[in-house]
């Protein structure tokens, strides 16, 4: 399997006032296309920073991020935006829908940003896939949390991403709704054959992926396959 | 607690109140200026008329009246001046111009103040030796003449002794309308300008003995002066009338400043609304800790009061600085030198008004604090503010309107005007708000789904939650409305005059033609290849009785509501057998000719003037024509189009009555080019020095100059509104920045380029600017229509050409400021989207 994401000796520093903080250092791992991986760790361990770097939302202080064969560190912000639009999908804890657009329009956004036209039909099919076809004309404020996250799922898959980054996708949902969203996420991921990187506190959710990378104090403390962990 | 809570937000709070700074600055500047002007008018009162008493007569003085005038001078001194309007010709350039000729007796005038001239000694030497004239400096500049050159006044040539800079009590504006040429009185007769029927005024300047109180003297002589038809002015009366007219101007301008303040307050209300929304969590925690709704409300009320106070002080300081420039701005209108001094009264008033309006407007969003539930700390998503109708809100609306009403009452002085101003402000705000809301509704209802994403997102932003569409439309729209109204009215008034320049309309009026000269002037006109468009006889007369009532009766019985001036003014009347194109019958029948002049003469009166006289069909009037009494009856009322360049009259006599009365004639013609007009006037001055010509080009030029000066002052004040609108724009962009950052960071995460984000923001500001400017312009057209119809009483045929530049300018400014303030949004790294997640 070709590798879709290569993280090589990644380091991230911040200057906070007169303090110099190293948030991540010595991070190395690779993901193959179609992998499902969870990044877990306590609060402040650096997992969100790592997700941001992997997705090209920020630049590393040193080291490299190679996404789908493209070295992100050498790209400008606009070029990275193009890469994200082309190959990356996102799911957020707080759904992050655009309040002034309807559910359907929110799903259309990534495709339209690519300049694609007549994407309504495609977006409608995705909404139908997450069970919200009849709520296509509703604005985010008219939808429940679970519904908003389903719209977010449809949006994440709308540009047929090579890799999907999910940040606590069920963190703001009740158990029942969370389970439904989880199921949809994994089903859609499998159908599309997308690589999934999941950041979560929820070990049960993490266990549903193929691989768990544990982070503590800015370094990887363990990187195990879930099947192997189960055997442990 | 209020202070501690605001610690981390003081910068933002300061931005809220910055929007009231300009409004307060405008008020303080204008009121300080008005205070200083009042003081200076008091200090320089004596130089306002240059004498203790001025008596003016607009007809030849009879012997009995001369005795009265002489008796007043006993123990003091008197200077006489004869004023008339005439053509002059500058010998060096050959240029001719209609001026006010003032023939001054060798006397002590001005007794107070000085005639300022260049060289200064010319102000006294011109009336002492030889035929010398003092000529208004603008005329000298215009005709490229200088002291030492010659000027022809009537038949006589005078040497220009100096350039006239200032006469006591005269403003630069008066000089624009009627530039003066002073000559010695003893040479006036030689000019040949004093002819029967000429329109001449006689001014008598008195220096009274020290023990004589001019006002008491005038009170004592009032009846006799009125009977003689004399006008009179003392230092006190001039001070009062001057002070009153400038105070009216200052009050009007203060109202324009007040509009800027109201705009700023709308900005404050909106900013406080956003501020409170962001403070919901803090308020929730405070409520959990036992703070009552009222206490929470007071915490934020004190913050707003403190910021209102700081903003008002900043505004007062700025206003005090701006007033340094005002004497320069108003230079053309002022009869006195205005000194600049700090006016504590204006400053204190400004600060008090600033705090009160800031609090009043902020109360609207602040009231909701009382109903914020402490539950918000547990569940952020719950409806945190009670939706019950809040009666106090209506109370606040009422207080705001009451405040506007009271403020305008103190500025305008009458309840009716205050009501009209408050109503006008309310209508303007409501119209702008309705249009903004209507536009949002239309965009939402007919959303162009087929448009590209960038365009659709920009459109959708117009109605996003917490959008600023309404606020910006109101604030920028009102500023635009003020500016556009000024442009429209200036053009409209000019076009009223310019209308006369159209084909076949006369553009030159010759008047003061004596009966003996009538045919010769007509021949000269024809010889010059010019058409005789109209020749009209004019007879001057005075009203003696109206339905048996004399001027004395009217003065004695004020319940009659008839202007006493009706009996002292000189009517210029014509006679003919038919109506002309600018006249239309309103009531009655026009009997064009009378056979028996000994019977009551049937006359026609202009309808609106008849209303002012409280007279109608069948009422009788007795006119005095050079001593001969002519009884008349109103049989016809007519409407007159005054804006036509024609000789229009209030009173029209039929043929067969006035043919033998002393009269002068008016002739109207049309010149094709400026050169032709100049050549004709030069020949006219040479052959008929007593005949004056009014060139329409000159009127247009003068009117343009006057309107330009007035509108510059008003535009200066309107600038405060526009600037406040822009400050509100900056404030509201900052208020919505958080939301914009969220959106653009999300879009960046989803792969939007900088260009796309820039496009979304730019198009949104373009739409907002265009909507606000467009709405303002619609309002301006409506306001100009109302002003044209009801105030200036002219037909509303607007020249819309200034509107596209105003529209484009305001829209571009909105986009520019919007984009300038949005720069930081573009520079936010997309990583923030994840930080928000974990926050």
Complete domains list, chain A, with CATH: 33-58+80-231 (3.40.50.300)
B268 and B146 fall within a common domain: no
B136 and B268 fall within a common domain: no
Evaluate whether residue B54 is within a structural domain.
no
B521 and B603 fall within a common domain: yes
Q: Contact A99/B465, CB-based, under 8 Å?
A: yes
B181 and B117 fall within a common domain: yes
CB nearest to B752's CB, from A81, A90, A108 = A81
Q: What is the mean pLDDT of residues B782-787?
A: 84
Query: Is pLDDT at A7 greater than 90 in this prediction?
Result: yes
Task: Give the E-state strand segments of B224-364 in sequence order.
Answer: 231-234
B123 and B261 fall within a common domain: no
Of B325, B332, B400, nearest in space to B719 by CA: B325
B160/B157 Cα distance (integer angstroms)? 10
Q: Which of the four pLDDT bands, split at 50, 70 and 90, describes residue B372?
A: confident
B259 and B383 fall within a common domain: yes
State which of B430, B457, B481 marks the end of a domain: B430
* DSSP letter string, B169-198: T--HHHHHHS-EEEEEGGGHHHHT---TT-
C-alpha to C-alpha distances, A23 to A15, A43, A58, nearest whole angstrom: 10, 12, 13
Residues of chain B found within 8 Å of residue A154, distances taken between Cβ atoms: none
B539 and B497 fall within a common domain: no
Say which residue, B185 or B106, is predicted with more confidence: B185
CB B566 within 8 A of CB B546: yes
Q: Is the peptide bond before A137 cis (omega within 30 degrees of 0)?
A: no
Say which residue, B277 or B175, is predicted with more confidence: B277
Nearest 5°: the CA angle B706, B708, B710 is 70
User: SS3 for B391-421, per residue?
Assistant: HHHHHHHHHHHHHHHHHHHHHHCCHHHHHHH
Evaluate whether residue B426 is within a structural domain.
yes
Q: Contact A100/B461, CB-based, under 8 Å?
A: yes
| Whole-structure pTM value | 0.65
pLDDT tens digits along A115-150: 887 788 999 999 999 999 999 988 888 888 889 999
Question: What is the reported pLDDT for A212?
Answer: 93
Evaluate whether residue B56 is within a structural domain.
no
B749/B736 Cα distance (integer angstroms)? 20
What are the φ and ψ backbone dihedral angles of B696, each rounded to 5 degrees? -60, -35
Evaluate whether residue B223 is within a structural domain.
no
Nearest CA in chain A to B742: A96
Chain B, window 589-608: residues with a beta carbon less than 8 angstroms from a chain A beta carbon: none
Q: What is the mean pLDDT of residues B333-338?
A: 72
Evaluate whether residue B207 is within a structural domain.
no
Residue B838, chain A, CB below 8 Å: the answer is: yes
Q: Contact A113/B743, CB-based, under 8 Å?
A: no
B618 and B517 fall within a common domain: yes
pLDDT tens digits along B2-24: 666 665 666 666 666 777 888 88
Q: Provide the 10 A C-beta neighbour count for residue B63.
A: 6
Residues of chain B found within 8 Å of residue A82, distances taken between Cβ atoms: 751, 753
| Beta-bridge partner residues of B100 | B85, B180
Evaluate whether residue B789 is within a structural domain.
yes
Query: Is pLDDT at B381 greater than 50 in this prediction?
Result: no
Question: Residues B510-536, buried b or exposed e (16+ Cβ, 10 A)?
Answer: bbbbbeebbeebbebbeeeebeebebb
Q: Is the peptide bond before B110 cis (omega within 30 degrees of 0)?
A: yes
CB nearest to B751's CB, from A94, A101, A113 = A113
Q: Provide the 10 A C-beta neighbour count for residue B129.
A: 9
B516 and B496 fall within a common domain: no
Residue B837, chain A, CB below 8 Å: the answer is: yes
Q: H helices within B44-56, ranges in order? A: 45-49
A15/A37 Cα distance (integer angstroms)? 30
Boundaries of domain holding B260 = 1-47+247-430
Residue B754, chain A, CB below 8 Å: the answer is: yes
Q: Which of the four pLDDT bands, split at 50, 70 and 90, describes residue A214?
A: very high
Q: Which burial class, exposed, middle or buried, applies to B545 when counting CB atoms under 10 A from its CB (0-12, 13-18, 19+)?
A: middle
pLDDT tens digits along A160-179: 899 999 988 888 778 888 88
Question: What is the reported pLDDT for B383?
Answer: 46
State which of B168, B201, B234 marks the end of a domain: B201
| Beta-bridge partner residues of A54 | none
Question: What is the reported pLDDT for B640?
Answer: 85
CB nearest to B834's CB, from A78, A155, A167 = A167
B549 and B483 fall within a common domain: no
Evaluate whether residue B61 is within a structural domain.
no
CB nearest to A84's CB, from B751, B754, B829 = B751
Residues of chain B found within 8 Å of residue A12, distances taken between Cβ atoms: none
B565/B570 Cα distance (integer angstroms)? 9
CB nearest to A52's CB, from B464, B743, B834 = B834
Evaluate whether residue B293 is within a structural domain.
yes
Residue contacts between A and B (CB atoms, under 8 Å): 92
Please give the tally of structural domains in chain B. 4
Of B93, B92, B98, nearest in space to B154 by CA: B98
Nearest 5°: the CA angle B731, B733, B735 is 70
Distance from CA of A57 to the nearest CA of B (A): 5
State which of B146, B180, B201 marks the end of a domain: B201
DSSP state of A141: G
B278/B136 Cα distance (integer angstroms)? 65
Tokens representing residue B385 in the block: 């503010």
Q: Best mutation site among B454, B463, B750 for testing chain A: the one with the most A CBs within 10 Å?
A: B750
Residue B453, chain A, CB below 8 Å: the answer is: yes
Q: Contact A81/B829, CB-based, under 8 Å?
A: no
CB nearest to A168's CB, from B753, B755, B837 = B837
Q: Contact A77/B754, CB-based, under 8 Å?
A: yes
Q: Best mutation site among B763, B834, B835 for testing chain A: the one with the most A CBs within 10 Å?
A: B834
B13 and B132 fall within a common domain: no
Q: Which burial class, exposed, middle or buried, applies to B70 when counting CB atoms under 10 A from its CB (0-12, 13-18, 19+)?
A: exposed
Question: What is the reported pLDDT for B176?
Answer: 67
pLDDT tens digits along B731-754: 766 766 667 777 788 888 888 888
Q: Provide the 10 A C-beta neighbour count for residue B689.
A: 20
Residues of chain B found within 8 Å of residue A108, distances taken between Cβ atoms: 453
Q: Contact B457/A86, CB-based, under 8 Å?
A: no
Question: What is the reported pLDDT for A151?
Answer: 93
pLDDT tens digits along B295-309: 888 888 888 888 889
HSE-CB of B556 using CA atoms within 13 angstroms = 7
| Beta-bridge partner residues of B87 | B98
Residues of chain B found within 8 Å of residue A105, distances taken between Cβ atoms: 456
B704 and B688 fall within a common domain: no
């Amino acid at each position: 399997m070709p590798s879709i994401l290569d993280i090589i000796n990644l380091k991230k520093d911040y200057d906070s006032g007169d303090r110099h903080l190293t948030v991540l250092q010595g991070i190395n791992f690779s993901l193959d296309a179609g992998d499902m991986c969870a990044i877990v760790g306590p609060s402040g361990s650096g997992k969100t920073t790592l997700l941001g770097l992997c997705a090209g939302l920020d630049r590393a202080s040193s080291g490299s991020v190679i996404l789908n064969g493209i070295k992100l560190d050498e790209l400008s912000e606009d070029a990275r935006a193009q890469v994200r639009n082309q190959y990356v999908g996102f799911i957020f804890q707080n759904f992050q829908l655009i309040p002034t657009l309807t559910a359907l329009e929110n799903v259309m956004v990534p495709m339209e940003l690519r300049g694609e036209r007549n994407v309504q039909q495609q977006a409608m099919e995705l909404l139908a896939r997450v069970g919200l076809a009849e709520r296509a004309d509703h604005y985010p404020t008219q939808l429940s949390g679970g519904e908003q996250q389903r719209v977010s799922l449809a949006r994440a898959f709308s540009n047929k991403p090579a890799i999907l980054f999910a940040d606590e996708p069920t963190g703001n949902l009740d158990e029942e709704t969370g389970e439904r969203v989880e199921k949809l996420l994994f089903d859609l991921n499998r159908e599309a054959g997308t690589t999934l990187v999941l950041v979560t506190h929820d070990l049960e959710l993490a266990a549903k992926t193929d691989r768990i990378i544990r982070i503590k104090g800015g370094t990887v403390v363990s990187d195990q396959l879930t099947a192997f962990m189960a055997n442990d | 607690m209020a202070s501690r809570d605001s610690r981390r937000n003081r910068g933002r709070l300061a931005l809220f109140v910055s929007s009231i700074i300009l409004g307060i600055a405008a008020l303080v500047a204008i009121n300080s200026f008005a205070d200083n002007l009042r003081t200076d008018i008091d200090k320089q009162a004596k130089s306002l008329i240059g004498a203790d008493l001025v008596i003016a007569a607009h007809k030849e003085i009879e012997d009995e009246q001369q005795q009265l005038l002489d008796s007043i001078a006993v123990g003091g001194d008197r200077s006489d001046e004869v004023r008339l309007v005439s053509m002059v010709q500058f010998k060096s350039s050959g240029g001719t111009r209609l001026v006010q000729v003032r023939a001054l007796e060798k006397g002590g005038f001005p007794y107070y103040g000085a005639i300022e001239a260049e060289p200064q000694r010319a102000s006294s030497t011109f009336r002492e030796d030889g035929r010398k004239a003092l000529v208004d400096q603008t005329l000298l500049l215009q005709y490229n003449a200088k002291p030492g050159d010659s000027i022809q006044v009537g038949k006589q040539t005078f040497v220009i002794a100096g350039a006239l800079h200032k006469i006591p009590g005269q403003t630069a504006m008066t000089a624009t309308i009627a530039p003066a040429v002073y000559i010695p009185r003893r040479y006036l007769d030689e000019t040949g300008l004093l002819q029967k029927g000429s329109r001449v005024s006689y001014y008598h300047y008195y220096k009274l003995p020290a023990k004589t109180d001019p006002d008491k003297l005038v009170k004592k002589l009032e009846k006799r002066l009125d009977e003689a038809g004399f006008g009179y002015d003392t230092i006190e009366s001039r001070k009062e009338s001057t002070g009153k007219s400038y105070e009216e101007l200052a009050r009007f301008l203060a109202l324009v400043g007040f509009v800027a303040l109201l705009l700023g307050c709308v900005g404050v209300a909106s900013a406080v609304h956003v501020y409170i929304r962001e403070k919901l969590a803090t308020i929730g925690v405070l409520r959990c800790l036992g703070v009552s709704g009222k206490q929470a409300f007071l915490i934020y009320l004190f913050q707003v009061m403190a910021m209102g106070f700081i903003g008002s002080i900043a505004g007062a300081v700025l206003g005090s600085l701006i007033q340094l420039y005002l004497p320069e701005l108003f230079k053309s209108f002022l009869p006195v030198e205005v000194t600049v001094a700090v006016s504590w009264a204006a400053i204190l008033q400004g600060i008090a008004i600033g705090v009160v309006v800031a609090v009043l407007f902020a109360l609207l969003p602040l009231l909701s604090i009382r109903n914020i539930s402490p539950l918000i700390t547990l569940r952020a998503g719950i409806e945190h503010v009670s939706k019950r109708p809040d009666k106090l809100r209506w109370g606040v609306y009422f207080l705001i309107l009451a405040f506007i009403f009271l403020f305008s009452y103190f500025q305008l002085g009458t309840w009716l005007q205050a009501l009209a101003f408050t109503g006008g402000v309310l209508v303007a705000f409501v119209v702008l708000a309705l249009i903004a809301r209507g536009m949002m509704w239309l965009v939402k209802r007919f959303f162009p789904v087929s448009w590209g994403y960038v365009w659709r997102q920009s459109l959708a932003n117009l109605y996003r939650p917490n959008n600023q569409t309404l606020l910006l439309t109101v604030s920028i729209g009102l500023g635009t409305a003020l500016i556009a109204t000024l442009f429209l009215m200036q053009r409209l008034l000019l076009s009223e005059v310019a209308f006369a320049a159209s084909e076949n309309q006369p553009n030159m009026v010759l008047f003061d033609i004596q009966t003996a000269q009538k045919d010769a002037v007509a021949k000269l006109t024809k010889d010059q290849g010019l058409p005789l468009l109209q020749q009209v006889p004019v007879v001057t007369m005075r009203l003696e009785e109206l339905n048996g009532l004399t001027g004395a009766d009217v003065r004695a019985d004020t319940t009659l509501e008839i202007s006493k001036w009706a009996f002292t003014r000189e009517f210029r009347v014509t006679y003919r057998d038919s109506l002309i194109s600018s006249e239309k019958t309103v009531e009655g029948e026009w009997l064009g000719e009378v056979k028996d002049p000994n019977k009551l003469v049937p006359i026609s009166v202009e309808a609106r003037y008849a209303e002012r006289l409280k007279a109608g069909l069948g009422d009788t009037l007795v006119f005095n024509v050079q001593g001969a009494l002519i009884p008349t009856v109103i049989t016809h009322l007519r409407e007159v189009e005054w804006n036509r360049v024609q000789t229009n009259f209030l009173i029209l006599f039929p043929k067969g009555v006035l043919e033998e009365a002393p009269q002068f004639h008016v002739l109207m013609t049309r010149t094709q080019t400026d050169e032709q007009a100049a050549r004709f006037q030069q020949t006219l001055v040479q052959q008929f020095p007593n005949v004056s010509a009014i060139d329409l080009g000159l009127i247009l030029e003068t009117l343009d100059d006057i309107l330009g000066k007035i509108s510059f002052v008003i535009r200066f004040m309107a600038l405060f509104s526009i600037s406040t609108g822009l400050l509100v724009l900056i404030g509201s962009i900052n208020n919505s920045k958080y939301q914009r950052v969220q959106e653009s960071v999300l879009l960046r995460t989803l792969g939007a380029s900088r260009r796309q984000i820039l496009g979304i923001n730019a198009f949104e500001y373009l739409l907002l600017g265009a909507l606000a400017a467009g709405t303002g312009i619609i309002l301006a057209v409506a306001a100009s229509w109302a002003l044209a119809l009801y105030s200036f009483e002219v037909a509303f045929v607007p020249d819309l050409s200034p509107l596209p530049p105003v529209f484009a300018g305001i829209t571009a400014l909105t986009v520019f400021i919007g984009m300038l303030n949005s720069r930081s949004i573009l520079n936010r790294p997309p990583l923030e989207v994840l930080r928000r997640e974990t926050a």
